Amino acid sequence: MKWSSFKYLARQGLHNMINNRLMSFASVGVLTVCLIITGVAGLFTANMNSLMLYLRSQNEVVVYLDENLDEAGLASVDSALRSISGLKEVTYVSKDEALDLMRDSMGDKADLFDVFEGEENPFLANYKVILQDVGQMDEIVPQLESISGVVDVNVPTGLSDLVVNIHKAVTVISVGLVVVLGFVSIVVISNTIRLTVFARRKEINIMKYVGATNGFIRLPFFVEGIAVGLIAGLISSAIVLGGYQLLIIYSVDFPAFWGSILNSVLLGMDQVWWKVLVAFLAFGSLIGSVGTATSIRKYLHV
């Protein structure tokens, strides 16, 4: 096909979209709604994954040491701990440091612990251990407990189980939601475009009778479908990103606990805006063009 013919057919497609603006508006509206729902689900999935990563980092295990442990025993425990794979950080806390930490946590009542100075200190020296992956908790804890000189291991088992279960549930639900909404988008848009093509079936039949090729007939509709998809992609990305920016702005007004978590896990706008825009434009134009191609096929056989 000559470039001049291509430009003519492309202009004809845009012209047809304007002439049939009611159906074009309906197609853009339906696709925009589907893209918004799909985009919200996608952003929810991305931020839930970010939350899972945050919760996985909150997996501190405290390893308490025998109070009669000498320097050689302490060195042996230190060496054994650091040889275990899967540990992100290993920090030693002496008896005096443990007492100071308790004082700091008591605020104005810190002087109540002055009686525990020196030999009266009831706290045990310990190691604070952070795991690389909370999912390895059940595998690593027995190794910590088996070390000679360790008297107890304080494990956040509730958090461990919660993180693993939530991650599995979020993964299944999010993937299922995106797949279902994507399928619904394809079906709805294909049917909407089919109505547009059906309304112009006589025009297609006349073009076939006078000798127009299938490619000549398809191209204007193809351009029209892509244009509808791109417009819907721009509108939906603006709405979704605008709403997401408002969430980021107003997250600072949430209660202290939830606000701190949101600020820690919410993906920044610089991380998501271009992904959302590219995905919406690509998905919108793909659905528009594929829907047009499948819808017009039956009317090409005169």
Is there a contact between 215 and 15 (Cβ–Cβ < 8 Å)? no
pLDDT 10s digits, 177-187: 777 776 776 67
Model pLDDT, residue 190: 66
**pLDDT-derived band of residue 78, with 50, 70 and 90 as boundaries?**
very high
Residue labelled with tokens 């992100």:
88
Task: Indicate the pTM of the whole model.
Answer: 0.65
CA distance 244 to 267: 10
CA distance 76 to 81: 9
CA distance 127 to 277: 47
| Residue 160 in this model has a pLDDT that exceeds 60 | no
Model pLDDT, residue 233: 92
The distance of Cα 297 from the centroid of its chain, to the nearest Å, equals 38
CA distance 31 to 283: 10
pLDDT 10s digits, 22-41: 777 877 888 888 888 888 88
Q: Which among 23, 302, 42 has a CA at the least distance from the CA of 170?
A: 42
Q: Which among 185, 191, 180, 182 has a CA at the least distance from the CA of 292?
A: 191
Residue labelled with tokens 């063009």:
289
| Residue 83 in this model has a pLDDT that exceeds 80 | yes
